[in-house]
């Protein structure tokens, strides 16, 4: 995986009773660093129409720190 390629999206998660039901891409593609900066602005923003806790970064599948194969990335650079 190349983190400097534009292959990361800002995604809204649609959660249901049984967990993740669906997701929709709101913007992208971006590089991972650019997507993390956008997520940081979403977390700090006061827009009543955006729930920043339902937003995430989606990209190519990778193994996360817990050993799970996932397509979702942390908004923090240290993870």
User: How far is 55 from 25, CA to CA, in rounded Å?
Assistant: 9
Domain-embedded: residue 3: no
Q: Look at the alpha carbons of 79, 34, 70, 26 in this order and tell me if their dihedral is positive or negative.
A: positive
pLDDT, tens digit only, all 79 positions of the chain? 566 789 999 999 998 998 889 999 989 999 999 999 998 888 887 777 778 788 999 999 999 888 999 999 988 877 6
The answer as to whether 1 is a domain residue is no
Integer Cα distance of 32 and 17 in angstroms: 30
Number of domains in the chain: 1
Instruction: Specify if 2 maps to a domain.
Output: no
Range of the domain at 64: 8-73
The pLDDT of residue 25: 92
Q: Is residue 31 part of a domain?
A: yes
77 class by beta-carbon count within 10 Å (0-12 exposed, 13-18 middle, 19+ buried): exposed
């Amino acid at each position: 995986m190349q983190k400097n390629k534009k292959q990361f999206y800002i995604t809204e998660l649609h959660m249901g009773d049984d967990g993740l039901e669906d997701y929709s891409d709101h913007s992208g593609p971006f590089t991972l660093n650019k997507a993390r900066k956008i997520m940081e602005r979403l977390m700090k923003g006061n827009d009543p129409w955006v729930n920043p806790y339902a937003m995430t970064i989606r990209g190519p599948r990778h193994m996360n720190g817990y050993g799970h194969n996932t397509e979702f990335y942390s908004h923090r650079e240290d993870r």
